[in-house]
Amino acid sequence: MNSVLVILLSTILLLCLKTYVDLRTALRAVNYHPGFKSFISCFGVFGFAFKEPRRGLIGGSLRFWHRKHLDFDEAGVDVIHHVSFFPRVSTCLILADPAVIKEVTSHRALFPKPLYHELRLWGGNIIASEGDEWKRHRKVGAPAFSEPNNRLVWNEAVKIMVDLFDNVALFVISVAGFGKNAFWQSDLLPPSGHKLSFKDAIHIVSVDMFIQVVTPTFLWKLAPTKRIADVKLGFEELEKYMLEMVEERRNAPKKEERYDLFSSLLDASDSDADGGARLTDRELLGNIFIFLLAGHETTAHSLAFTFGLLAMHQDYQEKLYQHVKSVIPDGRLPTYEEMDKLTECMAVFYETLRLFPPVVGVPKVVAENTTLVATDFTGKRRAIPVPACSDIHISILALHYNPRYWDEPHAFKPERFHGNWPRDAFLPFMAGPRACLGRRFFETEGIAILTVLVSRYKIELKDEPAFAHETYEERWDRLFTVKQGITLA
């Protein structure tokens, strides 16, 4: 018994000694650059599993939602070093310095992005690829985001919003006036050969994608629980719909001139068959899924935050309404050509993205030993050694709340986006060669929806007696508490 205890204590002692040596080595490698330490990292699987930070114990993936730029304020520099101990000593350089971020995003070969194998649900795509494979996906994907496509986005967004308002009024009068429920019934029934409607398939995949990612392959095939079986059916049905669309477009006897992303991606891939960039059907599905994930996720959540902010700030909502009326004084629907005149709408949208960026951080890895130079808050330049294979995290949240570039960073001030503003400190769409292809698509859709809604309706908070005595800060916390995850709703 004593021998077992001695062996156990010796093993623990050796592990502690190894951890200490690894820690000193890691700190020495970055020249003891300031930062913070925790037992469990902010990043990776454990960071996602233990979201809430606990000082010294849990880094927590929600750390920067809570602290914003505070870690950098305490360090006195906009580049900090994070060290974690479990399951092994690991280090990560976290960036909130626009100049350093620009250097990292501009040198794709030196600072590549780690591959997101989890997003290869249907096949390779522009997000889950690097190097020559990424170039091939980008060559095919970039032309899909064209000016005709942007015009289509605007026209359809306006049309859908008007249809939504008309249908809402119809549904209300149907129930309130005649006691009869009314819904979009045609969207609820699956077509022949399908078990789910397209809308239901998308909903299941978007809400429960994480289940597919974490479920082992053998369990996925067996589908032992109803939840897994339902999610599996959603994935199978969505894949079937997308394959049918590919087949339908390719075999159409008459080629129609279409500007939707699916058709444009298919046309670009087929037209480059001789140039070696043609995508396989699996890669087409992979990219369409990524466009769906990125496009709907960002717009839906960003608009939700925008409406909440306008409800909290009635004075600015009135200013926005008057601006919209000045651009379209006769009450007609806005046209795509007028989008660039709606500067106040864009300012509100950008301020929402600054306060609540859809992507809060971007990981990078270091391909070879290098050095980054940052200027601390006293004006002194610091050379930071960055060893090969180490991790880098671009903290978009900390950058967007950096008081060196944003006056009153916690305040809702859309006017900051008029005139000259620090563009390098605003990265909701990232920067460099891997910047978001769909930026204009996203902006067009969001501005169209916001313009039509504000021109017709006033956004207010529900008057609830339980919250009658809330302070501004309490209401803000109640409305804008965030949860981390991947959804499309």
367-396 tens-digit pLDDT: 999 999 999 999 999 999 998 888 999 999
pLDDT above 90 for 458: yes
Return the pLDDT at 312: 94
In angstroms, the first-to-last Cα distance of the chain is 58
pLDDT above 50 for 178: no
Angle, helices 439-456 vs 343-355, to 10°: value is 110
Does the CA dihedral 129-132-135-137 come out positive or negative?
Answer: negative
pLDDT tens for each residue of 71-102: 999 999 999 999 888 878 888 999 999 999 99
- Residue 259 CA to residue 267 CA, distance in Å, equals 10
436 annotated as ligand-binding: yes
pLDDT above 80 for 167: no
Return the pLDDT at 399: 97
* 187 pLDDT tier (thresholds 50, 70, 90): low
Return the pLDDT at 489: 34
Contacts for 441 with CB less than 8 Å, ≥ 6 apart = 145, 149, 150, 153, 261, 295
Return the pLDDT at 466: 80
Under CATH, to which class is 68-179+260-488 assigned? mainly alpha
Q: Which strands, in side-by-side order, build the sheet including 391-395? A: 35-40, 79-86, 90-95, 391-395, 361-365
Return the pLDDT at 440: 87
Q: Tell which wins on pLDDT, 356 or 198.
A: 356
Q: Which two tokens stand for residue 21?
A: 């040596």
Does the CA dihedral 317-322-328-330 come out positive or negative?
Answer: positive
Q: Which two tokens stand for residue 126?
A: 């522009």
pLDDT tens for each residue of 17-45: 777 777 777 777 777 789 898 888 888 77
Return the pLDDT at 272: 58
Contacts for 163 with CB less than 8 Å, ≥ 6 apart = none
Mean pLDDT of the region 342-359: 95
- Residue 23 CA to residue 32 CA, distance in Å, equals 11
Is the separation of the CB atoms in 91 and 82 below 8 Å?
Answer: yes
pLDDT above 90 for 230: yes
pLDDT tens for each residue of 243-284: 888 888 777 665 566 667 777 777 777 665 555 567 777 888
ω into 87 cis (within 30 of 0): yes
Contacts for 237 with CB less than 8 Å, ≥ 6 apart = 190, 194, 195, 196, 200, 201
Please tell me the pTM assigned to this model: 0.84
Return the pLDDT at 31: 75
* 488 pLDDT tier (thresholds 50, 70, 90): very low
Return the pLDDT at 118: 62
Which among 169-183, 208-222, 330-344 has the top mean pLDDT? 330-344
Return the pLDDT at 177: 47
Return the pLDDT at 227: 92
Return the pLDDT at 165: 73
* 337 pLDDT tier (thresholds 50, 70, 90): very high
pLDDT tens for each residue of 404-436: 999 999 999 999 999 899 999 999 988 777 778
Average pLDDT score, the chain: 83
Mean pLDDT of the region 428-450: 85
For the chain, domain boundaries = 68-179+260-488
Instruction: Tell me what percent of the residues of the chain surpass a pLDDT of 90.
Output: 33
